[in-house]
Chains A and B, each alone.
Chain A
């Protein structure tokens, strides 16, 4: 099962010291990479070589390395997270590449996500959208019994489909307009579907979409690139649902 074939790859990586640096591509060689390396482990190897050579390693965001924290964020050959279906960069494995491949690695690019350093961007705009209304205003303690509100399985399941969002921002990175509609739509839908969230549905959709624009995200033009980029496979039906919620809110 574990053969000892290794690959050599050419990496063309975006390097940018800080927010004010214009940035440029640099070329590196990744050697002795096996098909069992994850993409980030491949970068780890390149970085180890760079450090030994006294150079600054490539800086990238990562944490859980099991596809759930939403920290990793790289555009590989033009595709957020590398373009493998339902996969984050950290779960992408090198068996998807061949010996001799040239790989472009870039950060998320969107006006609302300024680059911090190399492949790291500032995604605090996503937090701001949630702060604008991505919650139910319940108080700690003093809530009803969990079974006091009945939520049929179909509704709970659909809400869960929306709630799976890991907030990585790939939808924004993949969108040619840098829009955050899938991210916002998923949260609006999750709460709009549940009885607990209905009370604040009107103010929520208004405030969250306003925050979206204020943060500098673009507008949706229904390309559905977001859905293709999403490592959790969140469906654009949640954008449709948000649009519906928005329309309803205009007449409420």
Chain B
């Protein structure tokens, strides 16, 4: 199968898995933003709604996400190693015309994001980093039911400077990764031409910026004491 073995095939897999994760990140942000109260019951209601979905769906979605992440990481590492060999000896003078810091450091921003995702899962999904504030152990009432206190857990976490710092840092990394990744998707899929490409590059950066701003608002407002548990 040329899709998994060839140069362009693997790039296409990178692009599709990457774009799937962008979609996830968008949905995830919309869900998280419920912490600001636009949903009746806030983020606790949103979390409860997700958890009340049938188990096979939850597991299925998680497995698919895991598979996407694995494919993206696997080929990302493989292609990067190959590409490092593409020019074994560097030029004495480095001069770049079009490449950006983001495009040149995808492997590093990607690696940082992978580490961050593990940390993030441990903190808010498996809730093992600060067991005392774990949502699963601190139930609060919601519409006559007792549900895990996600809001409390998140607020407690982001009150800590270091946690907020890590999250903001991770979102800067995400911005860099996506500012190259989103436009790259369209180029790799062959959905751009000379007229649309400059637009796609700008839009991609804009989307990445929007995601960055959306995500950092949560730790920043909490740390600043604007959003309270």
Contacts and interface: CB of A to CB of B under 8 A. Distances in A.
17 contacts: A25-B92, A78-B94, A83-B97, A104-B92, A104-B93, A110-B87, A175-B87, A177-B87, A178-B83, A179-B7, A206-B2, A222-B184, A222-B187, A223-B100, A228-B97, A237-B192, A242-B8
A176 interface: yes
A168 interface: no
A225 B96 contact: yes
A109 B79 contact: no
A218 B86 contact: yes
B113 to A, nearest CB: 17
A239 interface: yes
Q: Could you say which interface size class chain B belongs to?
A: 35 or more
B11 interface: yes
Interface in A189-236: 206, 209-210, 212-213, 216-225, 227-229, 235-236
B12 interface: yes
Contact of B190 (A179, A212, A218, A244): A244
A212 B89 CA distance: 20
B52 interface: no
Given A177-B82, A178-B86, A240-B193, 16 more contacts: A77-B95, A79-B97, A104-B92, A110-B86, A177-B86, A178-B83, A179-B83, A218-B83, A219-B7, A219-B11, A220-B188, A221-B103, A222-B184, A222-B187, A225-B98, A250-B3
B180 interface: yes
Given A223-B104, A245-B190, A229 B87 contact: no
User: What is the interface of chain A mostly: helix, strand, loop, or mixed?
Assistant: mixed
Interface in B74-96: 79, 82-83, 85-96
B106 interface: yes
Interface residues of A, number: 50
Interface in B87-129: 87-100, 103-104, 106
A218 B99 contact: no
B194 interface: yes
Which 3 pairs from chain A and chain B are nearest by CB? A218-B86, A244-B190, A78-B95
B189 A244 contact: yes
A210 B8 CA distance: 9
Nearest to A115: B89
Contacts of B83: 176-179, 218-219, 221
Contacts of A65: none
B9 interface: yes
Contacts of B144: none
Interface string A71-93: 00001011100010000000000
A247 B187 CA distance: 12
A220 B85 CA distance: 13
Contacts of A43: none
A246 B8 contact: yes
B10 interface: yes
Nearest to A113: B87
Contact of B192 (A229, A240, A247): A240
Nearest to A23: B89
Contacts of A242: 8, 190
B87 A178 contact: yes
Given A240-B191, A244-B190, A212 B95 contact: no
Given A210-B6, A240-B193, A250-B2, A221 B95 contact: no
A32 interface: no
Contacts of B164: none
Contacts of A109: 87-91
